Amino acid sequence: MKTLSRSIIPCLLLLDASAAEVGGTLPAGSSVTVAAGSGNSFARLDLTDTGNRVWTLQSSPDLSNWSNVSVLKVRNSLLRVPLAKVANQPHLYYRMKYDSTAQTAPNDVANALNLPSTAANYANPVLPAHLLTQQIRSQDNTPANNVTTNNGATLGRVLF
């Protein structure tokens, strides 16, 4: 059986659904789990939300004074949030706050797609040497007028 590190024991995760939600429960299709962290993080929050909702991660040293750590937009799937070690405060409590009236991040293309800032080099990828042999190249039946572009390949990866 794996035991938790002593550094994760002081961490307490609370879920705070707004009063606008029926019975103070989490929104349908959402869940939060805590996992052991690595490197500079002592724990990791896995927030699953299929509704593209905005959540606020808050921390408190005493469970009465809460401060916002970050506002998180879950893009219809899983969002992993590492909890970093804070030097000045060895004991912090965390909570995920959902408020149905504070959905400030717009649901537009810029917010919905989580694409890398630089496009991958799909047009001319670096291939291993065994794929550059004449035997393999002679099997390429791509027409000369059907050029692969980075934009076209990126669109294909998003759609399929």
Average pLDDT over residues 48-60: 85
What is d(CA 33, CA 58) in angstroms, rounded to the nearest whole number?
A: 16
Higher-pLDDT residue of 31 and 107 is: 31
- The mean pLDDT value of the chain amounts to 75
Q: Does domain 6-105 have CATH number 1.10.10?
A: no
pLDDT band, residue 109 (cuts 50/70/90) = low
Q: Averaging pLDDT over each range in 14-18, 25-29, 85-89, 133-137, which range is the top one?
A: 133-137
Q: Is the pLDDT of residue 69 over 70?
A: yes
Q: Is the pLDDT of residue 159 over 80?
A: no
Q: Is the pLDDT of residue 99 over 70?
A: yes
CB 126 within 8 A of CB 93: no
Q: Is the pLDDT of residue 152 over 90?
A: no
Q: Is the pLDDT of residue 153 over 90?
A: no
Sequence-distant (≥ 6) Cβ neighbours of residue 49 within 8 angstroms: 27, 29, 30, 55, 74, 76, 77, 79
Sequence ranges of the chain with CATH classification 2.60.40: 6-105
What is d(CA 100, CA 119) in angstroms, rounded to the nearest whole number?
A: 34
Structure tokens given for 23: 């019975």
